[in-house]
């Protein structure tokens, strides 16, 4: 398993920016007689790459062995990086492009999507067409490894748990349609009239698309769904994704240099040793330029073809990113699909309120007062859980930022409280105006908790 992740620290940093939590799927009030479908976060579904007799499992990328990667690095990047080190100047950005292309080849080539937003290679998520009770021991262990659902199972019974699985870098509309079909399957399989769904992190963006499919089909969500329990959902994407797409990585990022590079370089093997040496020798300006070029190449050559990744771009960043990446000839089908999702994202609140009006119970669990990773310019301007800004997970709750109290003369722009005379939604920490979120009565806030720790919180579990 000692693949050379560390060599690829920069892109992993981007990917980590959208890494989902290991959140858990149960509220204290759950109805144990209605089956629940967990819609996991990014890279929490087992996904396999098939090529002839060769099968590779995501972890989360389908990476080759370290020696193969070192071989590629020596072939493609050794001379440009050598020139950069010798001359202390990256002529024509040759080293930057060599590193960027190597990263793309190693990390994203197997997950590449085509101009229709479909995988080029044979990539498939493992599908679970049974309740948890009837899955193999291997599949059960894999799922519990991703998300600690044991408490849920103890309460509701393993026959009432279903796990929806999807390839996180694939196609949004196909994935949401598969989820729609899976809901019909679970109803039939369990004999229940309705199901609960539990969208976690990236699963929140898939749920946006799902609700839009119901709207497009002229069906009420309430015909199939009893309850939606959102867990740190990326309902309006992640600013980390949107700003990296729009502006690139923050230069001299504290997180990259002090947290992510060292963490990723931690393992002791040849590649990390080499990369460590290179990082120490190169001036920061060159590293920053390599990072900028890498981000550009990875988005233009790979990421812009993944409509599930477009689902993580906030609506505030999408129009500019659309101009930058989606107007080239040949990308018309990607553009149409990304635009479709953007509409679903903009309709998210309206679709949720419609579902609620139709009788669906809706809950939301969010974390706040944990700074966004310092990868993008506005990391300090928003409240967040490390990965996703509070505005996205909380359906619009207002906050000035981490540890920034609302001033005494603060006047809310609006309130979504259903009974302001009798409810008190005051944040004891004075940081969030809970009433500006879409569902103040049924949104649960966890102070100082980061995205990835959500799953180990006893209260949530």
Our CB check for Zn ion shows the closer of 266 and 420 to be 420
Alpha-carbon span 407 to 400, nearest angstrom: 9
**SS3 for 384?**
strand
Minimum CB–partner distance for residue 336 and Zn ion (Å): 40
Return the number of the residue (437 or 440) whose C-beta is nearest Zn ion: 440
CA distances from 425 to 247, 413, 431 (A): 36, 16, 12
Q: Is residue 161 classed as helix, strand or coil in its secondary structure? A: strand
Stretch binding Zn ion (CB under 5 A), from 157-165, 227-235, 358-366, 423-431: 423-431
| CA torsion, ordered 56, 62, 68, 70, to nearest 10 deg | -160
Minimum CB separation of residue 278 from Zn ion in Å reads: 55
Closer CB to Zn ion, 217 or 422, in the complex = 422
Q: Please provide the size of the chain in residues.
A: 461
Q: Give how far Cα 59 sits from Cα of 47, 178, 271, 368, 427, Å.
A: 9, 23, 18, 28, 39
Residue 130 CB coordination number (10 Å) = 16
Among 274, 354, 423, 444, binds Zn ion (CB under 5 A): 423
Binding mask 440-459 for Zn ion (x = CB under 5 A): xx------------------
DSSP symbol at 291: H
Cβ at position 421, least distance to Zn ion in Å: 10
Which of the 8 DSSP states describes residue 87?
H
10 vs 352 by CB, closer to Zn ion: 352
Q: Does 417 bind Zn ion (CB under 5 A)?
A: yes
- Smallest gap from residue 404 Cβ to Zn ion (A): 23
The stretches of 131-252 forming alpha helices (DSSP H) are 137-146, 150-156, 172-190, 202-216, 239-247
Rule CB under 5 A: is residue 395 a binding residue for Zn ion?
A: no
If the CB atoms of residues 175 and 416 are measured against Zn ion, the closer one turns out to be: 416
- Minimum distance of Zn ion from residue 362's CB (angstroms): 14
Kindly write down the DSSP assignment for every residue of 100-153, as one continuous string.
Answer: HHHHIIIIISTT-B-TTSSBSSEEEEPP--S-GGGS-HHHHHHHHHHS--HHHH
CB of 199 to Zn ion, least distance (A): 23
Footprint on residues 301-340 left by Zn ion (CB under 5 A): none
Among 308, 299, 313, which Cα is nearest to 392's?
A: 313
Taking the complex as a whole, the smallest distance from the CB of residue 440 to Zn ion amounts, in Å, to 5
48 binds Zn ion (CB under 5 A): no
Using the minimum distance from each CB to Zn ion, give the nearer residue, 187 or 423. 423
Query: With respect to Zn ion, which residue has the nearer C-beta, 48 or 423?
Result: 423
Is the CB of residue 398 less than 8 Å from the CB of residue 355?
no
What is the total count of residues that contact Zn ion (CB under 5 A)? 4
Decide whether 27 or 417 has the Cβ nearer to Zn ion. 417
Q: Where on the chain is the footprint of Zn ion (CB under 5 A)? A: 417, 423, 440-441
């Amino acid at each position: 398993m000692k693949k050379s992740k560390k060599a690829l620290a920069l892109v992993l940093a981007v990917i980590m920016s959208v890494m989902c939590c290991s959140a858990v799927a149960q509220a204290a009030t759950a109805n144990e007689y209605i089956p629940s479908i967990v819609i996991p976060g990014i890279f929490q579904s087992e996904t396999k790459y098939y090529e002839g007799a060769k099968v590779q499992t995501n972890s989360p990328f389908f990476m080759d062995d370290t020696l193969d990667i070192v071989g590629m690095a020596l072939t493609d990047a050794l001379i440009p990086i050598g020139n950069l080190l010798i001359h202390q100047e990256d002529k024509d950005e040759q080293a930057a492009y060599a590193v960027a292309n190597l990263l793309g080849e190693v990390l994203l080539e197997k997950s590449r999507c085509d101009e229709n937003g479909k995988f080029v290679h044979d990539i498939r998520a493992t599908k679970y067409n049974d309740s948890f009770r009837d899955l193999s021991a291997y599949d059960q262990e894999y799922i519990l490894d991703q998300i600690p659902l044991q408490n849920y199972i103890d309460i509701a019974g393993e026959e009432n748990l279903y796990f929806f699985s999807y390839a996180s870098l694939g196609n949004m509309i196909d994935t949401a349609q598969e989820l729609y079909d899976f809901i019909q399957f679970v109803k039939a399989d369990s004999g229940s009239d309705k199901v609960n769904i539990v969208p976690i992190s990236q699963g929140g963006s898939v749920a946006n698309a799902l609700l839009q499919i119901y709207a497009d089909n002229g069906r009420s969500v309430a015909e199939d769904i009893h309850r939606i329990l959102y867990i740190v959902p990326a309902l309006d994407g992640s600013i980390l994704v949107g700003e990296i797409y729009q502006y690139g990585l923050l230069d001299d990022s504290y997180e990259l240099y002090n947290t992510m590079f060292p963490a990723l370089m931690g393992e002791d093997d040849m590649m990390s040793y080499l990369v460590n040496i290179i990082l120490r020798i190169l001036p920061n300006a060159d590293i920053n330029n390599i990072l900028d070029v890498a981000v550009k190449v990875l988005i233009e050559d790979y990421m812009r073809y993944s409509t599930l990744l477009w689902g993580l771009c906030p609506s505030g960043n999408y129009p500019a990113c659309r101009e930058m990446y989606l107007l080239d000839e040949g990308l018309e089908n990607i553009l149409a699909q990304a635009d479709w999702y953007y509409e679903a994202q903009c309709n998210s609140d309206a679709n949720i309120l419609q579902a609620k009006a139709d009788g669906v119970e809706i809950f939301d669990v969010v974390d706040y007062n944990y700074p966004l990773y310092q990868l993008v310019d506005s990391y300090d301007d928003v409240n967040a859980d490390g990965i996703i800004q509070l505005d996205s997970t909380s359906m619009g709750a207002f906050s000035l930022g981490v540890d920034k109290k609302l001033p005494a003369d603060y006047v809310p722009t609006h309130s979504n409280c259903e009974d302001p005379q009798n409810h008190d939604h005051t944040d004891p920490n004075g940081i969030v105006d809970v009433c500006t979120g879409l569902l103040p009565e049924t949104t649960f806030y966890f102070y100082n908790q980061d995205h990835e720790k959500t799953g180990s919180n006893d209260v949530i579990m």
